[in-house]
Structures are given as C-alpha cells and as structure tokens.
C-alpha cells in the first residue's frame, strides 16, 4: 500500500524528531525497502545529537556492533558542549529548583524577572540555547524545564518566543503528555492568528500546525470533536488544507466517520472532498463519495476493505481501526435501510463484508442497544425496518450545532477585518506627518 502512504508528505511539515516514530512505524510494516529506509533514518538522525540512536540505526543497518571512532568523538564533543551551556545558565539553577517546588509557583515569575535584571537578557537566550541542545540530544524532559523558564520570562513580541512555543509543543508530543500538548496547541494557534505574519508566512505556519495537531487530536479524548471544528469549520484552516495539504482530508474524514455525534458534519465534509477530488483521493475519501454521492453500495463495500489496509499502515490513525470499521458498516447499513424496508440478511452481510451469522449478531446488538428500530425474521432471513423519522427536536439541535460553529467563524472574520480597517485608518491619519 505504498501508493497511499502519506509519510513523505507528512514529514515535510513535522520537526525532525517527530518524524522518527513515523519512520520506525514504517520499518515494522515493511511497506518500503528496509535498507533504504534505515539509510534515510541514519541520514536524518545524523543531523541531531542523538548519538545512541545513531549507533542503534547503524548497527541495524550494518550488523556491526563495534562503536566507530567517529561516534566516540561525537559523543565527547556533545558532552563538552553540554557542560559549557550548563555552565552559562548555572545562575538559573537555583531558580529552576524553586520552580519545581509547588510552594514557590506563585512567585516563580517574579523570581526569574529579578534574576533577569541582575544577570541580563543573555542568560535567558542561553537557557533557550540549552533547551534546544538538550532537545537535539533527545533529553526532552530536561529540555522542557528550560523551555518553561523561557516561556515565563519572554514577552510574546520577542523574536524567539515563537520558537519556544513550537519547541514546547514538540516536547509535550514526544513525551506523550496529551492534555498539556492540547493546551500548547491552542496557545500556539492563538499566537499565530494574532502575530503580524505575511500571508505566505501565516499559511505556512497553519500548515505546520495542522500536521502537528493531528498527532494531538487522535490521542486526546476531546480531539475527535476539535479536529472537525478546526479543520472543517475554521475557514482559514480549511483554506490552508485545500491550498497546501489536501491529503489531510484523510484524517478529517476518519474523524467524522468515527464520531457518531458529528454526523451533521458529513454534508459539509463531502462538499470539500468533491471540491478537492482532483488533487487528492484515497480509499477513505472515496468510501464517502461512493456511499453518499453515488449511492454505490458495492463500491463502498470494496473501498471499506481498502480503507482497513490504509488505516493499518497509517501511523496517525491505526488506533482507530476497529471504531472506523464499526462506524463505516453502520453508515452503509443506515444508508441502505433508508432505501429498503425489508432486507435479506445474506444481502446485508455481503454489503458489510461479513458472514451471514456475524451480520445477524451485529444487527441484533444494534437493536438491543436501541440504536436501530427493526425486527429480524429468522425463518425468512429478513430484517424488517421500522419507520425512523428524525424528530423536529433532533433536526433543530443539528442545525444549531452547525450554525453556532459557523457563527463563531464569521464573528472572528468580521473582527479581523474591522481590526485591519482600523489600523489602516490610523496609518492614513499620520502618514503626512
């Protein structure tokens, strides 16, 4: 399934360290030639200070366990540089110890600001440099300590502040701290939207944030709703996806399929998929097109089988496989039932890629869990559908959910245009003086 592999496209928008889990995942799946992939990983890790990881990859590639002199010297150089940087920020160590103590959190910022006045701003830059160096060594937790200090002291208009925000998010992702990663993601998104970037720069920043956010959203309990709100209902991010990275539609489509509470987003998603079908298609987007545009149940059945292969080989969504299959089958079943009042179990099993006995048990469970109004005639092997009109209340709730998200996006757009107009008016007032 190398044809549908998105690793190369995704890695273009990820930090070097964030690509290592994806590349290791590919090694396990045997999608590409192992030797070529190991060589690429070795080339990539050589640009970092992760000496042990470099040795491990080299050993797997050459089968030689002896440590070459080059790596021995590299390790020595890394340790020397690390000691030098630690010496530069030694005056901050006592402050960092206070930050670790819960009793001193109230005064932590004032303590650092006082220290900054005494020692100068250079010590904060040294702390940032040390954080970056520790990160390059793979010491993510140690790096986080210094990044935290930098975030507390630096002003948002500092030219280094954006780099600290990206570094903090990367560390939280790599240490699998998803609740904090989501907070950092929100903070970074707000910063990008309010910073004075050029149109090209803000588009690039959004494209990077979109890819990093996929890692967070599919590992956070609230992520399945948030990814839909951000990618589908925030116009600036939908525009970035359509312009820079239409392959992200795979992850948006997956989120909508596995999220039963957001079925109202299907209509908007399918419009986007149809618009972008000339630039990007894969079995997941084609599954929705077959089912809801062409009403081709046979085509949807075949695509569902391909979807399983795609998901198994995709690092971002492999954890959603069972949910995806269950919900995709339910979507086929619901759509099929809107057309037919009486369905044979054999026909239904064929449409769902299931055996007749499995299909009957699956339908029984749906009825038992009050998710389906139907009866099973075991003698004739039929499923007789009950009438399932959507209540006016439910229709109203779905309309309100969609309108509230769009209203919020419209409000932000109006505010942004008003702010830009006000700034232009101010500049026009002073331009002759």
**340-385 in CATH: which number?**
1.10.10.10
Cβ pair 259, 221 in contact under 8 A = no
| Secondary-structure percent of the chain, ordered helix, strand, coil, rounded to 5 | 75, 5, 20
Question: Which two three-digit tokens encode residue 89?
Answer: 């920020």
CA distances 338 to 62, 223, 334, 343, 385, Å, are 59, 31, 6, 11, 9
Per-residue tens of pLDDT for the chain, all 433 residues: 578 899 999 999 999 999 999 999 999 888 788 889 999 999 999 999 999 999 999 888 887 777 788 888 989 999 999 999 988 888 776 665 655 555 554 555 566 666 666 666 788 888 899 999 999 999 999 999 889 888 888 888 888 999 999 999 999 999 999 999 999 999 999 999 988 889 999 999 999 999 999 999 999 989 999 999 999 999 999 999 999 999 999 999 999 999 988 888 999 999 999 999 999 999 999 999 999 988 888 899 899 999 999 999 999 999 999 999 989 988 888 787 777 666 777 777 777 777 878 777 877 777 666 455 666 766 677 776 665 555 666 666 666 766 776 777 778 778 777 776 776 655 544 443 3
Could you tell me which residues are beta bridge partners of residue 382?
344, 377
List the chain domain ranges: 177-242, 246-337, 340-385, 394-424
């Amino acid at each position: 399934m190398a044809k549908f592999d998105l690793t190369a496209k995704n890695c273009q928008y990820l930090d070097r360290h964030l690509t290592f889990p994806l590349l290791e995942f590919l090694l396990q799946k045997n999608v590409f030639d192992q030797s070529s992939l190991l060589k690429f990983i070795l080339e990539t890790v050589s640009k970092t200070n992760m000496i042990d990881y470099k040795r491990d990859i080299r050993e797997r590639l050459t089968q030689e366990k002896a440590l070459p002199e080059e790596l021995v010297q590299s390790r020595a150089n890394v340790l020397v540089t690390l000691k030098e940087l630690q010496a530069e920020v030694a005056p901050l160590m006592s402050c960092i110890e206070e930050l670790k103590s819960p009793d001193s959190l109230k005064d932590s910022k004032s303590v650092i600001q006082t220290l900054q006045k005494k020692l100068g701003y250079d010590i904060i830059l040294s702390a940032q440099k040390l954080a970056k160096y520790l990160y390059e060594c793979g010491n993510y937790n140690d790096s986080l300590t210094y990044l935290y200090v930098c975030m507390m002291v630096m002003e948002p208009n500092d030219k280094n502040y954006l780099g600290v925000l990206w570094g903090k998010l990367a560390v939280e992702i790599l240490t699998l701290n998803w609740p904090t990663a989501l907070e950092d993601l929100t903070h970074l998104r707000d910063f990008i939207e309010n910073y004075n970037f050029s149109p090209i720069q803000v588009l690039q920043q959004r494209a990077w944030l979109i890819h990093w956010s996929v890692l967070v959203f599919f590992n956070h309990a609230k992520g399945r709703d948030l990814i839909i709100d951000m990618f589908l209902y925030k116009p600036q991010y939908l525009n970035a996806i359509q312009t820079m990275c239409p392959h992200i539609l795979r992850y948006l489509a997956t989120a909508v399929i596995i999220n039963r509470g957001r079925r109202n987003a299907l209509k908007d998603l399918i419009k986007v998929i149809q618009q972008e079908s000339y630039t990007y298609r894969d079995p997941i987007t084609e599954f929705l097109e077959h089912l809801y545009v062409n009403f081709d149940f046979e085509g949807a059945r075949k695509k569902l089988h391909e979807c399983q292969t795609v998901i198994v080989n995709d690092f971002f969504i492999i954890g959603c496989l069972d949910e995806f299959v269950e919900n995709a089958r339910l979507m086929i079943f619901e759509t099929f039932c809107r057309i037919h009042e009486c369905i044979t179990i054999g026909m239904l099993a064929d449409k769902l890629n299931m055996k007749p006995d499995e299909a009957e048990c699956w339908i029984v469970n749906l009825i038992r869990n009050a998710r389906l109004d139907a009866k099973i005639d075991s003698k004739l092997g039929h499923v007789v559908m009950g009438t399932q009109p959507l209540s006016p209340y439910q229709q109203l709730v779905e309309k309100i959910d969609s309108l509230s998200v769009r209203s919020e996006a419209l409000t932000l757009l109006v505010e942004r245009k008003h702010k830009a107009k006000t700034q232009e008016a101010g500049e026009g007032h002073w331009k002759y003086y």
